[in-house]
Amino acid sequence: MLQLGTMTGAERTIASVSELLQLAPLPTARDAASKTREELDELLSAGIRKYTSEDTSLVVFGSLARGEWTSGSDLDWTYLIDGQANSDHLLIAQKIQKLLKDHKEKFRPPGQTGTFGSMAFSHDIIHQIGGQNDTNRNTTQRILLLLESAPIGRSNQAHERIIRGVISRYLEEDTHLLTADSRQYRIPRFLLNDIVRFWRTMAVDFASKQRDRAGEGWGLRNAKLRMSRKLIFVSGLLVCFGCNLDTSLQKKISTGEGDIKLNLVNHIREQVRLTPLEILADAVERYRISNTVAQELFGAYAEFLRVLVDKKSREALENLRASDSRTDPTFQHVTDISKAFEHALDHIFFENSQLAPLTRKYGVF
């Protein structure tokens, strides 16, 4: 097993699940994300007073939303619109772009794909799930809105409405929300399939980007795929499986409390309000994952963040090409970290008595 700096072995007892989230440098990255979101709001408020409205939210994704901000992180943002068509929206998005460009040392611009850094509309995100018009960009915006997004500033109505709209739309396509005996919620299959599809899309796009960019940035993208992108997928799986396993949710069926669909929408909404790491920590407690596995899981992730925080390591990954991956010591370290992460995930999803049957039933076929 990988020996990580903060891990003191399998014997260590974790006093509480929250302790997992305190492994260095997770709290530092979380605080940095919170502070950066505030700074972003201050910058935009100073430059464009009240830059959002009832119909619009400025939403960030990626490490800033997950609470994993490091000095080298990109700022992935979208000016999210859920309201009447208004040609001024482009003007506002351009003003935001310009302001951020003027402060690019602090807020590094998003990647080259064009997925972020401009406007996005609720209609496409909610209506175009699957089918010819569900573009890669649309799928990415939608799944990341659910699993790793945060509104900036106080105005979050549009963000909130769209997230609830997306969840509701997924559930509308599932014929039955309850099991045949009406005692449990079923796994929301449409949502689950879209999350699985997104994970596979990210993996396929990894190869596509390698070709498009002639191998540039391969090391960092590979490391992210192994860790942070996989974490998004894992958190999505846990949210879906939780619909069937959460006892307080199932209890509402028998007591007749509230509307069947609305209860599920609310449950999923509350779950995705957590960051992916918080969802994982919650699962550790909920499914009684052993301390050894929990430490391996969170220790690996904390170590991954430590690599990203370290300027030299991050640069080494940024400059690494696939051909040198088997000899590069930084990448070898990342490989070890990701193996530990995967080992712990394998245990959780294939050996835990509650999760393993669901993984078998819904995970592959």
Partner 1 sequence: MRLIGFSTGALARNDFRRALRMLTERRVRAVELSALRQEELIPLVEQLDSLDLRGFEYKAFHAPSLMEPEFEAVAIGVLEQVALREWPIIVHPDAMHRPSEWARFGELLCIENMDKRKPIGQTVADLADIFGSLPRALLCFDIGHARQVDPTMSEAAAILQRYSARLRQLHVSEVNSQSKHDPLSFESVLAFRRVAHLVPENIPVILESRVEEDGIYDEIENACKALSVEDVLALTGD
- Exposed e or buried b per residue across 51-64, where buried means at least 16 C-beta atoms within 10 angstroms of its C-beta: bbeebbbbbbbbbb
Q: Which listed range, 46-54, 132-140, 221-229, 313-321, lies at the site for partner 1 (CB under 8 A)?
A: 46-54
| 141 part of the interface to partner 1, by CB under 8 A | no
| 326 part of the interface to partner 1, by CB under 8 A | no
* Span 149-208, contacts to partner 1 by CB under 8 A: 155
Is the Cβ of residue 4 or residue 44 nearer to partner 1 in the bound state? 44
With beta carbons less than 8 A apart as the criterion, state whether 52 and 89 touch.
no
CA distance 347 to 344: 5
| 48 part of the interface to partner 1, by CB under 8 A | yes
Q: How far is CA 4 from CA 1, 15, 277, in A?
A: 9, 19, 18
Applying CB under 8 A, which of residues 36, 56, 222, 244 lies at the interface with partner 1?
Answer: 56
| 19 part of the interface to partner 1, by CB under 8 A | no
Is the Cβ of residue 164 or residue 197 nearer to partner 1 in the bound state? 164
Question: Edge to edge, what strands does the sheet with 118-121 contain?
Answer: 118-121, 77-81, 56-60, 150-152
* Span 84-113, contacts to partner 1 by CB under 8 A: 84-89, 91-92, 95
* β partners of residue 56: 53, 81
Site residue total, partner 1 (CB under 8 A): 20
Q: Min. distance of Cβ 210 from partner 1 in angstroms?
A: 40
Q: Which listed range, 51-59, 133-141, 183-191, 337-345, lies at the site for partner 1 (CB under 8 A)?
A: 51-59
* β partners of residue 121: 81
Query: If you search the block for the tokens 């929300």, which residue do you land on?
Result: 177
Secondary structure letter of residue 235 according to DSSP? H
Q: What is the sign of the dihedral through the CA atoms of 93, 95, 96 and 101? A: positive
Q: Min. distance of Cβ 268 from partner 1 in angstroms?
A: 25
Is the Cβ of residue 66 or residue 159 nearer to partner 1 in the bound state? 159
Q: What is the sign of the dihedral through the CA atoms of 296, 230, 16 and 290? A: negative
Q: What is the sign of the dihedral through the CA atoms of 135, 136, 139 and 141? A: negative
Applying CB under 8 A, which of residues 22, 28, 34, 53 lies at the interface with partner 1?
Answer: 53
With beta carbons less than 8 A apart as the criterion, state whether 91 and 62 touch.
no
Q: Min. distance of Cβ 159 from partner 1 in angstroms?
A: 15
The DSSP secondary structure of 326-355, one letter per residue, reads: TT-HHHHHHHHHHHHHHHHHHHHHHHSTTH
Applying CB under 8 A, which of residues 17, 26, 52, 194 lies at the interface with partner 1?
Answer: 52
| 83 part of the interface to partner 1, by CB under 8 A | yes
Q: Min. distance of Cβ 55 from partner 1 in angstroms?
A: 8
Instruction: Give the footprint of partner 1 on this chain (CB under 8 A).
Output: 48-56, 83-89, 91-92, 95, 155
